[in-house]
Structure 1
Amino acid sequence: MILTLQIILVITSLLMGFSVLLHKGKGGGLSAVFGGGMQSNLSGSTVAEKNLDRLTIVTAVLWFLSIVGLNLVLNFNL
C-alpha cells in the first residue's frame, strides 16, 4: 500500500511539473521581464489549453490525495 502511494506520488509530481511548465504565460510578472510579454494574445484559450488546465487540476487532486493517503497510512498504520 505504501509503495503504491509512493509511486502515485512520484508520477503525479512529474506530470504536474510538466503540465505547469507547458502552460502559456498570461503576461505580466517575471515572464514579461524576460521577454515573455511580447506576444500578443489574438485569440481566446484553445481546446488544448483547456485540456491542459483539466489535466493539471486532475493531477493536482490526485497528488494531494496521495499525500493525504500516504500520511494516513504512515501515521495510523492502516
Structure 2
Amino acid sequence: MAILELILQIVLGITSLLLTLLILLHKGRGGGLSDMFGGGMSASYGSSGLAERNLNRFTVVLALVWFVTIVGLGLITKFQGLAG
C-alpha cells in the first residue's frame, strides 16, 4: 500500500503544478490580475478559438485527475488508520 501512496503523492505534485500552469495560461476575461500582467493588452489579439477550447479540455481533464488523486489519498489515509 505504501508504493501506491507514494505514486499518488507524486501524481498529486505533478498535477498540481501543471494545473496551476494551465490555469495561468487561460485568457483573461477582463479586469483583475490578468490585466496587470498584460492580459488586457493581448485580449484584443486573442488566441484561436480551437486553442482556447483545447486548453479548457486539458484543464478539465487534469483537474479530474487531480481530484481522483486527492480522493484516493484520502481513502488510503482513512483505511490505514483503521488497519493500524
Aligned pair count reads 78
Alpha-carbon distance in 2 for matches of 1:18, 1:43: 19
The residue that corresponds to 1:8 in the other structure is 11
The residue that corresponds to 2:53 in the other structure is 50
- Choose which of 65, 73, 78 in structure 2 pairs with 1:75: 78
Tell me how far 1:37 sits from its aligned partner: 3.2
Tell me how far 1:46 sits from its aligned partner: 1.2
Structure 1 unaligned residues grouped into runs of 5+: none
Tell me how far 1:36 sits from its aligned partner: 3.8
More helix by share: 2
Structure 2 unaligned residues grouped into runs of 5+: none
Kindly, what percent of the aligned residue pairs are identical?
A: 54
The residue that corresponds to 1:64 in the other structure is 67
Alpha-carbon distance in 2 for matches of 1:29, 1:46: 22
Tell me how far 1:14 sits from its aligned partner: 1.0
TM-score, scaled relative to structure 2: 0.75
**Inter-CA distance 40–54: structure 2 relative to 1 (3 Å threshold):** closer
Pick 1 or 2: higher relative contact order, CA cutoff 8 A, min separation 6.
Answer: 1
TM-score, scaled relative to structure 1: 0.79
**Structure 1 residue ranges, 4+ long, deviating more than 6 angstroms after superposition:** none
Cα root mean square deviation, aligned: 2.3
- Choose which of 32, 35, 38 in structure 2 pairs with 1:29: 32
The residue that corresponds to 2:20 in the other structure is 17
